[in-house]
Amino acid sequence: MKTAFAVGLGLLSATQALPSTRVTTRATGPSTTDGTRFSIDGETGYFAGTNSYWIGFLTNNADIDTTLDHISESGLKILRVWGFNDVNTKPGTGTVWYQLLSASGSEINTGADGLERLDYVVQSAEQRGVKLIVNFVNNWDDYGGMNAYVKAFGGTKEGWYTNANAQAQYKKYIEAVVSRYASSDAIFAWELANEARCNGCDTDIIYQWATDTSAYIRSLDATHMITLGDEGFGLPGDTSYPYTYGEGVDFVKNLGIKDLDFGTFHLYPDSWGVPTSFGDGWISNHAAACKAAGKPCLLEEYGSNASCDIQAPWQKTSLSLAADGMSADLFWQWGDNLSNGQTSNDGNTIYYGSDLATCLITNHVADIKAAASS
């Protein structure tokens, strides 16, 4: 999701709260694939989850614990987080940033307002049995993104994938993050980029970049899964915009990359200019592609004006394909009320404890449990 907004300053309390002592579940090993299904803590099946781009930027540990308590208690197993926060100018004390990008010398912030924030998220997730997808860079400009590399190293955003200096620093950052958490069973998967696109490019550009980057990550961590993080563009079955190859993405071709363990796709009819009825076919066609490739499909982001009537049928369609390529879905995005107020609302936010959460979380988790026991 293109997040054209930032976490409210009220959420970024400079006061460190004591961590919660609550422990609900402990991991029993790394998450894996089993054919076209995921296996988590010894259970193979279909899983529900969500996204929180902001959780690694919170400075109050109690807020992180509260969020992960609520996610775990809701029956959600997978949480996708931003593992990046890139800047071109070093912020003042108290502002969270992970990496300073500069042609004269980049810096990875491993301190208290840097990756130690992500450290705490991983630690808290470990205690609660929540599995994290950690993303390394943003296609969009929020929290730096590929354009922050372009500002530092030159070129264009479309040229980022083949920019030697940008890619060298990107890999240094990957190594810094992967080395911190390679032994953690809280890591569900490493993710190359949020919504990777290369507008007007040959699809070989992203394909070759994803092949090279995923192999590099595999050399650092042979245990955890790896995925691309794309929107699922470039797919046979329709002629509407998301099925085309104009953004430089070929979903089927990318599924064939050896070191990518599963496919991801997103679903935003409102943003893409297609009707909401588009969703069922979009899910079914991706499931068929994943089944043919022998890898699971993850519906990684989806939203449409936070609507139960629209999104619940998408969830049911995805769950109905649990034996035919689909293995999980993560709605965009999780919302909560924390120590200094409500988390950001982009119009697709599902707040913990709301009626909408009952529809899209409680009922969905119950349906997954019922399907597993039938």
CA distance 55 to 96: 11
Q: For residue 68, what are the contacts with CB-CB under 8 A and spacing of at least 6? A: 55, 79, 121, 124, 125, 128, 130
Task: Tell me the C-alpha distance between 346 and 5, whole Å.
Answer: 8
Decide if 70 contacts 85 (C-beta within 8 A).
no
Give the 3-state secondary structure percentages of the chain, helix then strand then coil, rounded to 5. Answer: 40, 20, 45
User: Residue 344, SS3?
Assistant: coil
- Residues sharing a CB contact under 8 Å with residue 95, sequence separation 6 or more, in sequence order: 12, 113
- Which of the following is catalytic: 195, 231, 247, 300? 195
Structure tokens that stand for 266 in this block:
């997103």
Does residue 247 carry a catalytic annotation?
no
Query: Is residue 231 annotated as part of the catalytic site, yes or no?
Result: no
Spot the catalytic one: 126, 191, 300, 301.
Answer: 301
d(CA 368, CA 258) in angstroms, rounded, equals 30
One-letter identity of residue 34: D
Q: Rounded to an integer, what distance in angstroms lies between the CA atom of residue 125 and that of residue 173?
A: 22
Strand order in the sheet with 86-87: 86-87, 99-100, 107-108
- Torsion angles phi and psi, residue 187, rounded to 5: -80, 115
Catalytic residues: 195, 301
